[in-house]
């Protein structure tokens, strides 16, 4: 028997069953709901584990003032409920606790959040009073799911011989990539630590150090604007292996995902996951994170366009661009209004227009009909598009990247609008979880504003061709066409994470830096230690990191990661509960040798 104060609970509010009838128990929890019948009243007591009905007969328990969200201790006897009194909706519905005494442990004013879930409280209020919001059974379920999911992943990695190793939070600023969060050094005036955007360099160095198989549940920080699926700080399951290539990483993760889905969700995922080169994903789906739960794939109609009389199509192809389309089956009967709305979407992304054609062997209808007047032209377009009589074909003609981007977005919107995406809520149907690896991303991407190339993934990514198209030997290849050994894992249109085979050769690493415009002096200052580490016997290695906020939200059928983060920030990067960020005392700034230089106040702005 546990000793302790008289109010200490003997059971939780989700625990008592018929087998406990007759026992004297003590429950602790929050007053969830009351139903007063005069002389007798019913109380639902709530904790993390559930609800238990407490029956209060004032002749036994005495008169006591209870209001919502009071924290109380109830001592009483477990009693069976009979017949119509049984609540079959609740696990504890076959019993109730007859109160003998009640002690109020804590009181509460009327809470600003409806904990019962009858109304959906504004997010702003939920975040300000997060400690109340988190009492809601749904949030407790979300956080419990997250905990179970991540722990299952941990076990899955340990079974495969991985070591969990922590890396520093106070580290060195990373050039390239996202904006860093900086932390001033008190000891070294004028110098700064940075919070890690990821443990990338550390995990590679762990491979050089011979740790061979590393993983970590790692907090990452990126000072960029937030989104529904992005926070300033987020959590990754980060990992790295030595003496491996792509397929070893894929196989490891497939097993981890299979184990985790089975343990945390009871779902038997089929493995291996399909693989698809980046170029194929872009060509078939228009995006690098294809949602494979529905069809509506893109079709290239460049050849047809080149031969056609339609000037818009011809000139797009002749200018080096593309003409591509989506065929929407006749059964979805896309209306003129639907098409106009889709055109608005397309133009919003940057398309000049949206051409459409209702397929027909005798020319069909719509703006393209007159270019399909000949049966040959109509038939050829239908077969290129994989379209049948009556299907609606939507076309974009533009430079390659925009054509893909617009059609990719239209495809996703059509998938949603036409109801092609099944609901994920609490499903155990493995077929609804469509994973795919997307491989061989481009190595570099051209940045128009900066007028230079950047790493598409990060500068430690191995090229598909170690000679870098001859650049290693002094040639000057077209950097934009080089392919990398970077890969993403995609689930139902979400990017779950990314990784790559790394560069383990100091010469190739230095060449990549040079191609990115980072000269020898800058390389030495920023990455000298890392290149030096590579020079001391670096094994071939590769790795991956998965966004845990995203995967845990997705597996709950949620599309906002705030629902699986205990204390998230708003879209403007504010913690509404504690009021961060905030001003600090001048003394604190002086101590870390920092002076605030504020932007000019906006004219007409209200005084603070």
Residue 186 phi/psi, 5-degree rounding, is -75, -35
Answer whether 404's CB lies under 8 Å from 357's CB: no
Establish if 459 lies at the interface with RNA (CB under 7 A): yes
From the CB of 211, what's the least distance to RNA, in Å?
Answer: 19
Contact 384, 299 (CB under 8 A): yes
Question: Which residues between 65 and 124 bind RNA (CB under 7 A)?
Answer: 67-68, 81, 84-87, 89-90, 93, 96, 110-114, 118-124
Q: Which stretch binds RNA (CB under 7 A): 13-21, 34-42, 302-310, 526-534?
A: 34-42
Element (H, E) at 512: helix 506-515
Residue 114 CB, shortest distance to RNA, in Å, is: 4
Pick from 174, 257, 272: which is nearest to 497 by CA?
257
Q: Is 14 in the site for RNA (CB under 7 A)?
A: no
Q: Which of residues 342-381 bind RNA (CB under 7 A)?
A: none
Site for RNA contains 228 (CB under 7 A):
yes
- 138 touching RNA, by CB under 7 A: no
Residue 606 CB, nearest distance to RNA (Å)? 4
Which listed residue (158, 166, 191, 225) binds RNA by CB under 7 A?
225
- Choose, by CB under 7 A, the member of 11, 25, 26, 53 that binds RNA: 53
Question: 499 by DSSP, 3-state: which?
Answer: strand
Nearer to RNA, 455 or 509 (CB): 455
- By CB under 7 A, tell whether 186 contacts RNA: no
Nearer to RNA, 267 or 402 (CB): 402
Which one, 30 or 356, has the nearer CB to RNA?
30
Contact window for RNA (CB under 7 A) among 50-58, 100-108, 358-366, 426-434: 50-58
Q: Shortest distance, CB of residue 208 to RNA, whole angstroms?
A: 17
Question: Which stretches of 308-399 are DSSP H helices?
Answer: 311-318, 336-349, 375-385
User: Least distance (Å) from RNA to the CB of residue 187?
Assistant: 27
Question: CB 590 → RNA: shortest distance, Å?
Answer: 27
Is residue 33 close enough to count as binding RNA by CB under 7 A? yes
Starting at the edge strand that comes first in sequence, how are the strands of the sheet with 494-501 ordered?
163-164, 213-221, 233-242, 541-547, 494-501, 486-491, 435-439, 275-277
Q: What is the DSSP annotation of 207-255?
A: HHTT--EEEEEEEEE--S--BTTB-SEEEEEEEEEES--HHHHHHHHHH
Count of residues of this chain found to bind RNA when the rule CB under 7 A is applied? 73
Of 525-584, binders to RNA (CB under 7 A) are: 560, 562, 570-572, 574, 576
Region near RNA per CB under 7 A, out of 10-18, 146-154, 177-185, 389-397: 177-185
Strands of 405-456, DSSP E: 435-439, 444-447, 452-455
Minimum Å distance from CB 340 to RNA?
17
Residues of this chain, 577-606, that bind RNA according to CB under 7 A: 602, 604-606
Nearer to RNA, 197 or 308 (CB): 197
Q: Which of 4, 5, 22, 38 binds RNA (CB under 7 A)?
A: 38
The CB-of-189 to RNA minimum distance in angstroms stands at 28
Long-range CB contact pairs, 251-259, < 8 A, 24+: 252/160, 253/489, 253/544, 253/546, 255/156, 255/160, 256/153, 256/156, 256/157, 256/160, 257/435, 259/152, 259/155, 259/156, 259/159
Does 42 interact with RNA (rule: CB under 7 A)?
A: yes
Give the footprint of RNA on residues 374-413 (CB under 7 A).
none
Query: Is the distance from CB of 45 to CB of 35 less than 8 angstroms?
Result: no
Kindly state whether residue 198 participates in binding RNA, applying the rule CB under 7 A.
Answer: yes
- DSSP per residue over 449-488, as a string? TTTEEEESS-TTBPBSSTTGGGGGGT----GGG-BBSEEE
Going edge to edge, which strands form the sheet with 392-398?
A: 298-300, 322-328, 392-398, 355-358
Q: Is 5 helix (H, G, I), strand (E, B) or coil?
A: coil
Q: Can residue 37 be called a binding residue for RNA (CB under 7 A)?
A: yes
Q: Residue 517 and residue 520: Cα distance in Å, rounded?
A: 10
Tell the smallest beta-carbon distance from residue 224 to RNA (Å).
4
3-state DSSP assignment of residue 45: strand
End-to-end Cα distance, the chain? 58
Dmax of the chain from CA atoms? 95
Q: Which of 197, 252, 412, 523 binds RNA (CB under 7 A)?
A: 197
Q: How far apart are CB 371 and RNA at their closest, in Å? A: 32
Mapped onto helix, strand or coil, the DSSP state of residue 199 is coil
| Number of neighbours of residue 274 by Cβ within 10 angstroms | 11
Should residue 522 be labelled a site residue for RNA when binding is judged by CB under 7 A? no
Does residue number 440 form part of the binding site for RNA (CB under 7 A)? no
């Amino acid at each position: 028997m546990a000793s302790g104060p008289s109010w200490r609970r003997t059971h939780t509010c989700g625990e008592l069953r018929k087998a406990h009838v007759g026992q004297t128990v003590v429950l602790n929890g929050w007053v969830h709901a009351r139903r007063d019948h005069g002389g007798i009243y019913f109380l639902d007591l709530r904790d993390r584990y559930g609800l238990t009905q407490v029956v209060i007969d004032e002749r036994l328990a005495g008169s006591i003032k209870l209001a919502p969200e009071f924290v109380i201790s109830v001592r009483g006897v477990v009693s069976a409920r009979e017949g119509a009194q049984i609540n079959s909706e609740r696990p504890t519905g076959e019993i109730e606790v007859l109160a003998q005494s009640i002690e109020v442990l804590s009181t509460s004013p009327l809470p600003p959040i409806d904990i019962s879930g009858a109304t959906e409280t504004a997010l702003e209020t939920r975040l300000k009073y997060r400690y109340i919001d988190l009492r809601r059974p749904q949030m407790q379920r979300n956080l419990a799911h997250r905990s179970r999911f991540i722990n299952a992943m941990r076990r899955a990695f340990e079974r495969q011989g991985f070591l969990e190793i922590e890396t520093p939070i106070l580290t060195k600023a990373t050039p390239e990539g996202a904006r860093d969060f900086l932390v001033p050094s008190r000891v070294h005036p004028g110098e700064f630590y940075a919070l890690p955007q990821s443990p990338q360099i550390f995990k590679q160095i762990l491979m050089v150090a011979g740790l061979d198989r590393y993983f970590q549940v790692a907090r990452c920080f990126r000072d960029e604007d937030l989104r529904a699926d992005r926070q300033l700080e987020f959590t990754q399951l980060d990992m790295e292996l030595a003496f491996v290539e792509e397929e070893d990483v894929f196989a490891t993760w497939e097993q981890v995902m299979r184990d985790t889905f089975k343990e945390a969700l009871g779902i038997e995922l089929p493995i291996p996951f399909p693989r698809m080169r980046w170029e194929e994903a872009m060509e078939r789906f228009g995006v690098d994170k294809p949602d494979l739960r529905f069809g509506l794939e893109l079709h290239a109609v460049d050849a047809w366009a080149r031969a056609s009389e339609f000037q818009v199509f011809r000139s797009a192809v002749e200018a080096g661009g593309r003409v591509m389309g989506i065929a929407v089956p006749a059964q979805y009967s896309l209306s003129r209004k639907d098409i106009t709305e889709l055109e608005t979407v397309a133009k919003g992304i940057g398309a000049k227009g949206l051409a459409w054609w209702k397929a027909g062997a005798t020319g069909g209808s719509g703006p393209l009909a007159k270019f399909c007047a000949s049966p040959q032209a109509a038939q050829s377009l239908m077969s290129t598009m994989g379209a049948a009589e009556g299907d609606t074909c939507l076309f974009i003609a533009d430079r390659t990247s925009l054509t893909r981007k617009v059609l990719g977005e239209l495809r996703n919107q059509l998938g949603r609008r036409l109801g092609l995406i099944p609901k994920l809520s609490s499903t155990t149907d493995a077929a609804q979880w469509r994973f795919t690896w997307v491989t061989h991303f481009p190595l570099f991407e051209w940045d128009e504003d900066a007028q230079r190339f950047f790493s598409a993934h990060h500068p430690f990514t191995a090229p598909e061709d170690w000679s870098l198209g001859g650049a290693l030997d002094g040639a000057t290849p077209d950097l934009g066409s080089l392919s990398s050994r970077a890969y993403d894992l995609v689930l139902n249109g979400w990017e779950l994470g990314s990784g790559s085979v790394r560069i383990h050769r100091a010469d190739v690493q230095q060449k990549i830096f040079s191609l990115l415009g980072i000269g020898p002096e800058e390389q030495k200052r920023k990455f000298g230690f890392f290149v030096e580490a590579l020079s001391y016997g670096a094994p071939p290695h590769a790795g991956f990191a998965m966004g845990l906020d995203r995967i845990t939200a997705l597996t709950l059928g949620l599309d906002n990661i705030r629902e699986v983060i205990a204390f998230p920030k708003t879209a403007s990067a504010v913690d509404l509960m504690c009021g961060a960020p905030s001003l600090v005392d001048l003394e604190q700034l002086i101590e870390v040798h920092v002076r605030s230089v504020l932007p000019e106040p906006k004219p007409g702005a209200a005084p603070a």
